[in-house]
Amino acid sequence: MPTRSGTFTYQCESGRTRASARAARRFAALPAIFTFTVDVETHPGGSGPTGPTARLLDLLEARGSRGTFFILDSVTRSEPGLVREIARRGHEIASHGHAHRHLAEEAPAAFRMAMATARDRLAALTGFAPVGFRAPYFSLTPAAGWVPEVLAELGFAYSSSLLPARNPLAGWPGAPRGPFRWPSGLLELPVPVGRIGPVAVPFLGGMYLRWLPPWRLSGLARNWAAGGQGGLWSYCHPYDLDTDESLVHRPDAGPFGSLMLWLNRRTTLPRLEGLLEGRRSLPFAARLVEFSMVPTWGGGGEAPAKAA
C-alpha cells in the first residue's frame, strides 16, 4: 500500500485520500444517484486514452459504480480493445461523434451518413448499437437545431450535448436546465451548470472541476441541488488525469486555454473519487425510465415548466 505523505496520502485500504475526503464534503449536497460520464478521445501531447481510462475503470469498479463512456469514432478505430474492455466491465458505450468538431460545422446529410457509420462500428465491437450521443464541446446550439431529429432517426434514444446557458465556447441560452424531450422524441440531458456572476459553468467536469476552488465547488453544488432540476451527471476526459502529457498548443483552445487544459491535472482523480463517495453512478441507459415524464421543448422561446 502506498505510504507517501502529503495531499495524496492513503489513509485506509479503500484508497481514500485526504484530498478525496475533502472533495466528498464539497459535493455533500448533491443527490445520491448520478451518472459518471467520460468522453473518450485522444489529446495532443499525450500517450493516448488507454492508461487514464483504465484508472477510471478501476475507480468505478472500486466504488461499485457503472458509468457511460462516449467514444469518439477515431478511438473506436484505433483502440478497439479499449472499447471492448470498457463494455466488458459493465459500462455503457455511447457515441462522442464521428469527428471532434462543433456541430454547427456539420452538414445534415454528411453528418447522418458519418454518424451511421460510427454507430455501426461501435455496434460491431460491442454487440449493441449505442443509444446515447454526446456532441463535441457540448456544441448542440441553435445553429445545429436539426441534429436531434437526425439522431432520433438513427435510433439514438438520448443526447447529453447541450449547455443550457450563454457560454464562451458553446451554449443554448433559454434551453431547459433539466432533462427534456425534443419534438423528435430524443431525450436531452443538459450538462449541469452553475453560475459564477454572469457566466454559466459546467462545474462537474473537465477543466472546471480541476480549477474551481473548493469553496466555489461547494456553493455550486448546493445551488444546483436547490434548483431541483434532476438529471445529475459529471464528465471528464482521459487527458484530465494524464500527468505525463507534454504541453501542446491546441488551436481550438488558444495559448492560454492550452495551458489551462494542461495544468492542475492532479486534482482530477481525488475530486472524482470524492464525487463517488456516498453516491452511486448508473449509466444513462439504466436511468431512462427516470426521465420518461420530462416535458417536451421545441428549441425556441422560454423553457417549459418543470415536470411534476
Residues in the site for Zn ion, rule: CB under 5 A?
Answer: 39, 41, 136
Q: Least distance to Zn ion from the beta carbon of 103, Å? A: 12
Q: Least distance to Zn ion from the beta carbon of 40, Å? A: 9
3-state secondary structure of 160: coil
- What is the C-alpha separation between 97 and 256, in angstroms, rounded? 26
Place of cell 477515431: 74
Q: Which is nearer to Zn ion, 229 or 268 (CB)?
A: 268
- Angle among Cα 86, 87, 89 to the nearest 5 degrees reads 70
DSSP per position, 9-29: -B-STT--BHHHHHHHHHTTT
Q: Least distance to Zn ion from the beta carbon of 96, Å? A: 6
Q: Least distance to Zn ion from the beta carbon of 278, Å? A: 29
Closest residue by beta carbon to Zn ion: 39
Place of cell 465547488: 217
Q: Least distance to Zn ion from the beta carbon of 97, Å? A: 8
- What is the C-alpha separation between 38 and 102, in angstroms, rounded? 18
Q: Which is nearer to Zn ion, 136 or 274 (CB)?
A: 136
- What is the C-alpha separation between 114 and 103, in angstroms, rounded? 13
Q: Which is nearer to Zn ion, 152 or 170 (CB)?
A: 170
Q: Which is nearer to Zn ion, 232 or 236 (CB)?
A: 236
Q: Which is nearer to Zn ion, 17 or 159 (CB)?
A: 159
- What is the C-alpha separation between 261 and 302, in angstroms, rounded? 34
